[in-house]
Amino acid sequence: MPQTAPPADRALAESLLAFWADAGVDSLFLDAPVDRIAAGLAPPPRRAEPPPPTALRAPPAPGARPDVAAAAAEARSLAAAAGDLAALKAAIEAYEGCPIRFEGAARQAVFSRGAPDAPVMIVGEGPGAEEDARGEPFVGRAGQLLDRMLAAAGLTDRVFITNTVFWRPPGNRTPTPAEQAACAPFVERAIELVRPKMLLLLGGASAKAMLRREEGILSMRGRWFEWRSADERLELPAMPTLHPAFLLRQPAAKKKAWSDILSLVQRLDRPERPH
């Protein structure tokens, strides 16, 4: 004689079935049996490994001495591959060998402004806050003074302006020789691409780095030197002079800087000797 379930168990079963029906279950059995125990013993399928993240160069540790030779070698390779000034600018923006870019003051690389075929290349020290914000060298108060002096000398459209480093040093400090050496191959490549007739070096840090000399700017200014590339394939006359930022602090020195610029213009416009 078949046994009937107690009313309480039947009500519980009906409630459970109603719950599964509300959840969308419309069948309690499969067409073929499934061994759940065996399936549970099988190892789960391996999940696909995500691709490794792109390696980023870590900023140098505080107080660590940079590997100047390695950074300069990397810069030399990047600079040599740049076929024009636009490619050189892109190479500088991608370069991570100059420690300044990791020191927190720089927003962007600041490369150049001016005529790409200028007969005079002006090389300053490094960008300041205004230059960092706008992405061009010598656009702050010192740059405005420089532009006025260039205009008075008839050089407005005859210059290409850059710096020895392309990122703003913290507190607008003077760039170190190591930082300048890390960027030097880019400066040399810019000289190769622009092919100026002469260089105007603004400030002591620029003159010392470009000419590889130790004299102070007051000793070097107003004198002609020969700049040579690292491989000595290029050679150009170079005139050091006072930095416009110094002239803003010492207005009486403007006369000396003006004399230097006039000397440069006189040499620039001197008729070439017949070969």
What are the pLDDT tens digits along the chain (275 aa)? 555 666 667 777 777 666 656 666 655 555 666 676 776 676 766 665 544 543 445 555 555 556 889 999 999 999 999 999 999 999 999 999 999 998 888 899 999 999 999 999 999 999 999 999 999 999 999 999 999 999 999 999 999 999 999 999 999 999 999 999 999 999 999 999 999 999 999 999 999 999 999 999 999 999 999 999 999 999 999 999 999 999 999 999 999 999 999 999 999 998 876 55
Q: Are 205 and 174 in contact (CB under 8 A)?
A: yes
Per-residue confidence (pLDDT) for residue 104, from 0 to 100: 80
Domains and CATH numbers, the chain: 68-268 (3.40.470.10)
Res 258: pLDDT: 98
Task: Give the number of C-alpha atoms closer than 13 A to the C-alpha of residue 250, restricted to the C-beta side.
Answer: 10
Of 269, 247, 240, 271, the C-alpha closest to 153 is 269
Is residue 59 a contact partner of residue 102, using CB atoms and an 8 Å limit?
yes
- pLDDT at residue 122 in the model: 98
Rounded alpha-carbon distances, angstroms, from residue 231 to 1, 142, 149, 221, 227: 109, 33, 34, 25, 12
The pLDDT assigned to 273 comes to: 64
Tokens of 192: 């190769």
130 Cβ contact partners less than 8 Å away, ≥ 6 residues apart = 139, 140, 141, 143
